[in-house]
């Protein structure tokens, strides 16, 4: 049953808006500030492992619990790949985000909005999640799957793990696009489709949520979208936050956009800290990994790119303390920041590992397995499916 006019607050990650050519009408996009250069899309190194995940969320009136879980658990889903390797190389993770089934969207687009294309900009994904609002609507799974397949720049390599996770609670076969054909099109492009039914297992089976994924090598998953995410206080928490503050101090903003993104980084820390569950601890663990990349605004990340040219760095785009430095001094300054960042990341990784072990034991003691939440079903699924692509994970 659709719930109309039920509006609930929720939220997602920040960053520079990536503009698309000829965006579909009805999509709400932020205008790019005048004079701002488009950020370059980062590319993995030669033969580097790659992961592409598209998350399609039903944001109709009854889905506020789903969005709450998504914004809280996004980080732990990304963290699945922190210790993963394929052919000895760490993966390059990109995430895309769509919402569908919301009356606030455009009917001509079947009430679908591409929020973010495949991107490494996890702060942007987070900011957008925290900005989501639910509203009653018509949920067309086939249409949003087809849209994601057509819109996104999926990697052509058969070795890349590419997956869609579509979550909702209305019948899977609603709308103008046959979900079976959309799922076949997806797997024809090497993209696995997984469905997440927010409700009982049998109702999901009866309304088509299981049939679609079977056509696209995917899994049928069931969650209790209204279940509150359990928070566990751990002895490592204060130290993790302290080292996160030091880590933030290693970012060197490039120009006005860099300063804005630095503020967004802090804002997303605050949003995660205020969210349910252990979102801030999971976010900090992500920030300490290679999957947290900000080369489109941070000089420390940017200068690690093979095509980076110091001679093209404009003086006015440098922080005030760097403007009077010689080139050699600037390089040394950034090198010191990188060294400090690596120290912070190493310490956070150690603390996060110890915290994970503590929390796992505590949840077992509390009788909380969390197996019916978004995080649990997605993490388990991506591990299994990525392993089939040759990714190796550390044993839990």
Confidence of residue 369 (pLDDT cuts 50, 70, 90): low
Least confident segment among 30-44, 143-157, 259-273, 333-347: 30-44
Confidence of residue 136 (pLDDT cuts 50, 70, 90): confident
Confidence of residue 395 (pLDDT cuts 50, 70, 90): confident
The residues spanned by each domain of the chain are: 50-227+373-387, 237-366
Confidence of residue 363 (pLDDT cuts 50, 70, 90): confident
**What does the pLDDT average to over 244-252?**
98
pLDDT tens digits, 211-239: 999 999 999 998 887 776 667 899 999 99
Q: Estimate the crossing angle of helix 122-131 against helix 64-78, to 10 degrees.
A: 170
Percent of the chain with pLDDT over 90: 61
**What does the pLDDT average to over 266-274?**
93
Give the other-Cβ count within 10 Å of 346's Cβ: 12
CATH tag, 50-227+373-387? 3.40.50.410
pLDDT tens digits, 152-167: 999 999 999 999 999 9
* Average pLDDT score over the chain: 84
Decide if 159 contacts 390 (C-beta within 8 A): yes
Phi-psi region of 30 (alpha: psi -120 to 50; beta: other; left: phi over 0): beta
- pLDDT for 374 equals 78
pTM (whole model) above 0.85: no
Decide if 59 contacts 134 (C-beta within 8 A): yes
Decide if 209 contacts 220 (C-beta within 8 A): yes
Largest distance between two CA atoms of the chain: 68
Decide if 329 contacts 370 (C-beta within 8 A): no
**What does the pLDDT average to over 270-280?**
84
Least confident segment among 31-35, 284-288, 325-329: 31-35
More confident residue, 42 or 15: 42
């Amino acid at each position: 049953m659709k719930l109309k006019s039920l509006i609930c607050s929720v939220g997602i990650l920040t960053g520079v808006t990536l503009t698309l050519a000829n965006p579909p009408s009805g999509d709400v996009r932020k205008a790019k500030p005048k004079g701002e250069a488009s950020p370059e899309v980062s590319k993995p190194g030669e033969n580097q492992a790659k992961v592409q995940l598209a998350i399609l969320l039903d944001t109709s009136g009854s889905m506020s619990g789903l969005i709450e879980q998504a914004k809280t658990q996004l980080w732990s889903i990304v963290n699945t790949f922190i210790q993963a390797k394929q052919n000895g190389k760490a993966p390059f993770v990109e995430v895309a985000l769509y919402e569908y089934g919301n009356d606030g969207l455009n009917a001509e687009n079947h009430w679908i909005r591409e929020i973010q294309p495949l991107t490494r900009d996890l702060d942007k994904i987070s900011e957008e999640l925290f900005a989501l609002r639910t509203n009653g609507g018509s949920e067309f799974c086939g249409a949003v799957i087809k849209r994601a397949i057509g819109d996104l720049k999926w990697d052509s390599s058969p070795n890349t793990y590419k997956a869609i996770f579509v979550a909702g609670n209305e019948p899977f076969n609603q709308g103008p696009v046959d979900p079976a054909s959309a799922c076949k099109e997806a797997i024809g492009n090497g993209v696995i489709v997984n469905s997440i039914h927010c409700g009982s297992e049998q109702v999901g089976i009866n309304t088509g949520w299981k049939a679609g994924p079977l056509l696209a090598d995917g899994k049928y998953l069931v969650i209790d979208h209204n279940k509150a995410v359990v928070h566990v206080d751990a002895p490592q928490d204060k130290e993790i936050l302290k080292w996160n503050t030091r880590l933030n101090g290693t970012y060197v903003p490039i120009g006005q956009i860099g300063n804005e993104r630095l503020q967004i980084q802090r804002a997303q820390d605050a949003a995660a800290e205020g969210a349910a569950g252990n979102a801030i601890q999971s976010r900090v663990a992500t920030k300490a990994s290679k999957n947290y990349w900000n080369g489109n605004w941070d000089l420390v990340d940017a200068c690690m790119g093979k095509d980076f040219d110091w001679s093209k760095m404009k003086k006015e785009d440098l922080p005030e303390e760097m403007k009077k430095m010689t080139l050699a001094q600037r390089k040394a300054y950034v090198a010191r920041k990188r060294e400090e960042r690596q120290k912070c990341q190493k310490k956070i990784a150690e603390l996060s590992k110890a915290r994970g072990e503590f929390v796992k034991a505590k949840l077992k003691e509390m009788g909380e397995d969390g197996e019916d939440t978004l995080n649990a079903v997605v993490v388990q699924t991506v591990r299994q499916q990525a392993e089939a692509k040759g990714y190796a994970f550390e044993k839990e």
